[in-house]
Chain A
């Protein structure tokens, strides 16, 4: 079974631009969560999607948005990029039952110059 895939793996943008990151969950997984990881703030929850609906959202400004498609693939978008948005963005998928184990992708490393 293929794991969680994220594209692109690396991205360099400049301030003010916008970016879209993509995540394909494990086949059969319907929940996708997004996290931002930085050295200073650690791993912070962005949002979680299930069946194309956002069920929970972390404490991030409205510049951070996401969506989920009918095939469970998810995208997150960051508009008007700031230097502080430089981070590793991780996506995780789960079955949403039982142990509810999250499987993480390798992440997208975003650098904002």
Chain B
């Protein structure tokens, strides 16, 4: 199937780390993406990882990829209240022109 799965909610305290998990379906996907959506806005690309990488770090963001298990995670260090949003993982299967998005994880950061 084409379901990309994520947990629906995550709540963390300000200053803690957040880890958002995603299970994707198509092992042919060359790139895997993380997007952020704030209330009333479109999606903003946060980071991406190439499928032959295990890890990518970009300032407070760390992406881990376990290709064998088709598992992707996004770690946000020192989470701030401004990080409160919905986070989507997405894959683009090779040979297609469409992206498959996960269900989205709503991150709530408590002050």
| Residues of chain A at the chain B interface (Cβ within 8 Å) | 4, 31, 33, 35, 42-43, 45, 48, 50, 55-56, 58, 90, 92, 99-107
Beyond A45-B101, A101-B48, A102-B33, 10 extra complex contacts between A and B, CB < 8 Å: A43-B101, A55-B97, A56-B97, A56-B98, A58-B98, A90-B42, A99-B31, A102-B45, A104-B42, A105-B42
**Other-chain contact of A42, B41, B92, B98, B104 (Cβ < 8 Å):** B104
Quote the shortest CB–CB distance from A40 to chain B (angstroms): 10
Given contacts A101-B45, A103-B45, A106-B42, contact A43 B88 (CB under 8 A): yes
Question: By DSSP majority rule, is chain A's interface helix, strand, loop, or mixed?
Answer: strand
Interface centre among B40, B45, B99 (most CB of A within 10 A): B99
